[in-house]
A and B are shown apart, each in its own frame.
Chain A
Amino acid sequence: MGDMGNDRCVLGIETSCDETGVAIYHGQRGLLAHALHSQVALHAVYGGVVPEIASRDHVRRVLPLVREVMTQADITPSDLCGVAYTAGPGLIGALLVGAAVGRSLAFGWDVPAVAVHHMEGHLLAPFLEPNPPSFPLLALLVSGGHTLLIDVEGVGRYRILGESLDDAVGEAFDKTAKLLGLGYPGGPALAALAESGNRSRFVFPRPMTDRPGLDFSFSGLKTCAVTTLRREGNDPQTRADIAYAFQEAVVDTLAIKCQRALRQTGRRRLVVAGGVGANHALRARLTDLVAQEGGSVHYPRLAFCTDNGAMIALTGWLRLRAGVREPLCIRALARWPLDTLSTVSEP
């Protein structure tokens, strides 16, 4: 029991926020199964995630999803060589549900467990796709809670080059969407509304691009949306025009910083992950950028941009294979800096 042969698989569990994700990753055959339960509808009436409601739902969803993926993948417990679960960063109560179930499953099956960093999971999600990039690379993580530019030399070797000094990109999308009367979470709805926006009516600033450095600031764009809406009136076309101007400003800002970071580090491969990585305008712009810079850009499939169990199973497999082990302890961290992770040798 417990040997990390390539012919066995890892169960991955994600419960850091408002999605319960479970998946099975096989050392040779890749992803065998994944299942997700989104709590979006549960939280929508509150206009944001309510931590206690999230935790209560996770504890009802995790095990049925574990059953489901094991059936889907057609595996038995003896095919498993480990259990991985997100142990941070995120909502502590929600994380502890995944940790309690995951650590106990590993104990009961007598296989090792590994605690996975949620953002490392996002970062490695493109490796679930055909033609994954090789290291070193530059990673842009754009999600509901994070905006990070990271120089990546290998698994666990992360140097943070830039981050948001205030709102994360996804958060800025969601807050602006709320102002525009779109539901929660409003990122995708705002992107859809921007499609019908006039391209030249408003131009929003590109925050922090006029000075050197790779940090971001997005809270000002939300304020800009408020004042524009007040000044110009709240008709449907104005809302669409604001959505366009907002998205354009975000995409442009991210592209400018990515270009800067690529040139500064000399990296040729760009990985983009996290919920906002599903945004089509952003993908189009970054694809153009790397073409111009002579590199390549790598995204996860749309379903693996937002939270999912697949990225946790994959990350868990990589770390377990490198000998990383969680002791017989159920623990999680609401905050957990990405650049404190242990290094894992090259695959």
Chain B
Amino acid sequence: MKLLALETSTDACSCALWIDGTLQERFEIAPRQHGTLVLSMIEALLAEAGLRLHQLDGLAFGCGPGTFTGLRMAAGVAQGLAFSAGLPVVPVSSLAALAQGASLLSNGSATERIWVIQDARMGEVYHSAFLRAPNALVNESTVPRLCRPEQITPPPGDGRWIIVGSAWSVHHLALAQALVGCDTEVLPDLRYPHAADVARLGVDALQSGRTVSADQALPIYLRDEVANRPATNQTPF
């Protein structure tokens, strides 16, 4: 199985190529440079593997939540590449990709519990919880949400949560207060989802047929209130 993955939902831009279980990745932390980097990364990965786009089996992209422009960059590129090469698309949660990256850090024998809390700007955070059984991929156990950090509540279930994501350093006090009494271990440096993890999750989805067509390669924003409606159409009289 051959799959190309891209992830541009944060300040990091990354692309990865999965070929029958081996992964090559390009990863760069480059705010506002995604547009300059993403297609060159893909071109380089394909050239190194001696592959053309249409020889792939599918394309996965980090569909969010994350920065709106970054999500549309990923979705737009996924649409263009998938449509032109006739590939099925796998949208992969950017929170899941981050959780997947975190779960590879340790290789315990018990089920890991990973809680991703990403900064959403405007005083809010995106968060969702994931479980990972030994030798398995992460599995989302909640519905991803957007809330103010002081309003966050731990996911259901007992035991320690490994917290990852950019929200911890931005909203340290509010989160610490909201989570008093909750058993947590914080890994605040894990904040950038990687295309390699999008690829790992994407391959699984592709194998089980969870794909969409190119025009359904769309972002998941979570934040839907993006404008205030004026009360009435005001005239000066």
Q: Kindly state whether residue B106 has any CB partner on chain A within 8 Å.
A: no
Q: Kindly state whether residue A260 has any CB partner on chain B within 8 Å.
A: no
Contact of A53 among B79, B215, B227 (CB under 8 A): B227
The residue among A60, A63, A105, A234 with the most chain B CB atoms within 10 A of its own CB is: A63
CB distance from B87 to the nearest CB of A (A): 9
Residues of A within 8 A of B40 (CB): 328-329
Q: Kindly state whether residue B72 has any CB partner on chain A within 8 Å.
A: yes
B84 touches A63 (CB 8 A): no
CB distance from B172 to the nearest CB of A (A): 29
The A212-227 residues at the B interface (CB cut-off 8 A) are: 226
Contact flags (1/0) for A155-185 with B, using CB distance below 8 Å?
0000000000000000000000011010100
Q: Kindly state whether residue A66 has any CB partner on chain B within 8 Å.
A: yes
Chain A residues touching B, range: 35 or more
Give A65 to B11 CA distance when docked, in angstroms. 31
Q: Kindly state whether residue B38 has any CB partner on chain A within 8 Å.
A: yes
The A176-213 residues at the B interface (CB cut-off 8 A) are: 178-179, 181, 183
Q: Kindly state whether residue A103 has any CB partner on chain B within 8 Å.
A: yes
Residues of B within 8 A of A56 (CB): 68, 72, 219, 221, 226
The B75-116 residues at the A interface (CB cut-off 8 A) are: 75-81, 83-85
Contact of A104 among B72, B84, B218 (CB under 8 A): B84
- Given known contacts A47-B233, A96-B73, A100-B80, A63 and B215 CB-to-CB distance under 8 angstroms: yes
Chain B residues touching A, range: 35 or more
CB distance from A302 to the nearest CB of B (A): 27
B81 touches A59 (CB 8 A): no
Q: Kindly state whether residue A5 has any CB partner on chain B within 8 Å.
A: no
Q: Kindly state whether residue A236 has any CB partner on chain B within 8 Å.
A: no
Q: Kindly state whether residue B214 has any CB partner on chain A within 8 Å.
A: yes
A59 touches B236 (CB 8 A): no
The residue among B42, B69, B72, B221 with the most chain A CB atoms within 10 A of its own CB is: B72
Contact flags (1/0) for B224-236 with A, using CB distance below 8 Å?
0011011001011
Contact of B72 among A64, A96, A229, A230 (CB under 8 A): A96
- The B interface, classified by DSSP as helix, strand, loop or mixed, is helix
B80 touches A102 (CB 8 A): yes
Contact flags (1/0) for B23-51 with A, using CB distance below 8 Å?
00000000000111011101100000000
A108 touches B53 (CB 8 A): yes
A105 touches B83 (CB 8 A): yes
CB distance from B156 to the nearest CB of A (A): 32
Residues of B within 8 A of A230 (CB): 236-237
Residues of B within 8 A of A104 (CB): 39, 76-81, 84
Q: Kindly state whether residue A323 has any CB partner on chain B within 8 Å.
A: no
CB distance from B168 to the nearest CB of A (A): 27
Contact flags (1/0) for B190-231 with A, using CB distance below 8 Å?
000000000000000000000000110011010000110110
CB distance from B34 to the nearest CB of A (A): 8
A103 touches B80 (CB 8 A): yes
- Given known contacts A101-B76, A104-B39, A179 and B84 CB-to-CB distance under 8 angstroms: no
B77 touches A100 (CB 8 A): yes
- Given known contacts A52-B68, A329-B39, A105 and B80 CB-to-CB distance under 8 angstroms: yes
CB distance from B224 to the nearest CB of A (A): 9
CB distance from B228 to the nearest CB of A (A): 8
The residue of chain B having its C-beta at the shortest distance from the C-beta of A184 within the complex is B233
B35 touches A96 (CB 8 A): yes
Residues of A within 8 A of B43 (CB): 107, 328
Contact of A179 among B39, B221, B236 (CB under 8 A): B236
- Given known contacts A59-B75, A96-B73, A108-B80, A45 and B229 CB-to-CB distance under 8 angstroms: yes
Residues of B within 8 A of A97 (CB): 72, 76
Chain A residues engaging chain B, CB cutoff 8 angstroms: 45-47, 50, 52-53, 55-56, 59-60, 62-64, 66-67, 77, 93, 96-97, 99-109, 178-179, 181, 183, 226, 229-230, 234, 328-331
- Can you list 10 A-B pairs with a CB-CB distance of less than 8 A? A56-B72, A56-B226, A59-B72, A93-B68, A96-B72, A101-B80, A103-B39, A107-B39, A234-B237, A330-B76
In addition to A329-B35, A329-B39, A330-B76, 18 A-B residue pairs with Cβ atoms within 8 Å of each other are A45-B230, A52-B68, A62-B76, A63-B214, A63-B215, A96-B72, A99-B35, A100-B73, A100-B75, A104-B39, A104-B79, A104-B80, A107-B42, A107-B84, A229-B236, A330-B39, A330-B73, A331-B36
Chain B residues engaging chain A, CB cutoff 8 angstroms: 34-36, 38-40, 42-43, 53, 68-69, 72-73, 75-81, 83-85, 214-215, 218-219, 221, 226-227, 229-230, 233, 235-237
